[in-house]
Structure 1
Amino acid sequence: MSNVLRLLDDIPMLAYTYRYGFGGKEKDGALRKLGILSNIVNQMYFPVEHIAWLGEKNIINVKDCSKWWNLCTTLWTASLIVEIIRGILIMSKLKARKRNMMHKAVNSVSSAERERHVMELGALQRKTTTEVLVIIQHTSDLCNAVHWLPAGILWSGVLKPWQVGMFGTISSLIGLGMMLRWK
């Protein structure tokens, strides 16, 4: 049943891509380009996954489902790489903003102004922590994605089952923790 439900994942992704558009709300050009690239790769992923799954279930005639699954895994890997790079850029921007805010807090004349800067620093720290967790989550997923690529690509096929499980568990726990924290 969960495999059938995955066939509906492209609807929310399409809605997200439509809302993001060309990243007009994104102030940084590099982040905007990475966001658009991520959306393109993710939009390509879903039809490829559908073809692989439908072919595997003999619902449509596909000569070699493994090629479609390999393409699917390659797109997953590409998406994760883009998201990790994007996360690192966001981290560098947050670090610069924190440095600037720290300078403002130290040089504040009034205690009310200093307190406001300290509160903003706290908010920036929470965003930084979230971004670190997202990067760790994507990196854990990347370890598994590369493992499932065709033989001969980086560490494909060499992870032991407990390592695959560990990376999956790390990713899932971070995702669950962030989902519970956002409620």
Structure 2
Amino acid sequence: MVDALQSLLASSRGRSSLFGAIQYASLLSAGLSEALLQGTTTLSRSLRNLYRALSDCRTLLRFGDSVSLLLKPGAYRNSSPKDLIWIIDTISDLANRFYYPFEHIAWAIDKRVIPFGESSAKWWNRSSYFSLISSICALAKTVLSWIDIIKRKGELPSSDRRQLRKEEFLVTVDFFTNVARLIVSVHYLPDGMLWGTKLSSTSLGLLGMISSLVSLWKMIDEF
């Protein structure tokens, strides 16, 4: 267990998921605190400050990921189209290549790191659109995996289906996790688009925390 935690913290993806769980847990706690105490308190303000600080921290951590992603050859460069999974992977790869840089430009404008004359809102919106595309691709890929498992189960005798149970469980977990991520992605869209900006702090914090904790659990299980 200790070795798994060390490996988790040694990876940028692991640190980002850990900070994400704490980030959304602080937002959830702030929302619950304000609901129970019927107003903003010193505690809720501190929790929201922690949420924003960890958000900045994760954005900086993703900077390294964005550079490596831009330098990494895409699936569409190394393969030929074979099936729907390849198409989804290609769209997701392209979406991520735009999502990260736009996010960093928006963040840098907010922090006055780069002297752009325009508002950062446009860049945040562009980043949100590509994040939504990536979330849709992840959910679609999970649904296809689910369908594949159901087909394989139908082709196997009852005595041999046990080996698919763990795989089916993991895909089911992925499905609900990706649904949560999709809901969160839509929340970050501009106001007026679906439920953009409409989620409460409690709902956003709960969904984000669950998504991050599941990611952590899966990474620990891999080590």
TM-score (structure 1 length as normaliser): 0.80
- For residues 125 and 13 of structure 1, do their structure 2 counterparts lie closer, same or farther at Cα, with a shift above 3 Å needed? farther
Relative to 1, partners in 2 of residues 1:172 and 1:129: Cα closer, same or farther, differing over 3 Å? same
Report the secondary structure of 2:212's partner residue.
helix
SS at match of 1:18: coil
Determine if the alignment matches structure 1 residue 56 to structure 2 residue 96. Answer: no
Size of the aligned set, in residue pairs, is 166
1:14, distance to aligned residue in structure 2 (A): 4.2
State how 1:72-151 maps to structure 2 within 5 Å: 72-102=127-157, 105=159, 118=160, 121-151=161-191
Residue identity in the other structure for 2:122: K
Inter-partner Cα distance in structure 1 for 2:157 and 2:206: 37
Question: Could you say what the CA RMSD is over the residues aligned between the two structures, in angstroms?
Answer: 2.3
Which residue of structure 2 aligns with residue 108 of structure 1? none
Amino acid at match of 2:187: H
2:216 is equivalent to residue 182 of structure 1:
no
Structure 1 residue 59, shift from structure 2 partner:
1.7
- Are 2:208 and 1:154 equivalent residues in the alignment? no
Q: Percent identity?
A: 25
CA shift digits 1:55-100 (9 cap, x unpaired): 2221212211011011111111111011101110111011101111
Q: Cα deviations across residues 127-170 of structure 1 (Å, max 9, x unaligned)?
A: 22112211211211111111121111111122111101110111
The AA in structure 2 aligned to 1:72 is S
TM-fit CA distance, 1:51: 1.3
Matches within 5 A, 1:165-176: 165-176=205-216
Q: Structure 1, residues 6-56: CA drift from partner, whole Å, max 9, x if none? A: 2111144346x5374557499x60111111111011111121112112222
Question: Which protein has greater RCO, CA pairs closer than 8 Å, 6+ apart?
Answer: 2
Unmatched segments (≥5 aa) in structure 2: 1-55
Distance 1:85 1:22, change over 3 A: farther
* Cα separation, partners in 2 of 1:54 and 1:14, compared to 1, 3 Å: same
| Alpha-carbon offset, residue 172 of structure 1 | 1.4
Q: Is the 8 A contact 2:74 2:93 kept in 1?
A: no
Cα pair 2:146 2:168 within 8 Å, conserved: yes
Alpha-carbon distance in structure 1 between the residues aligned to 2:198 and 2:169: 31
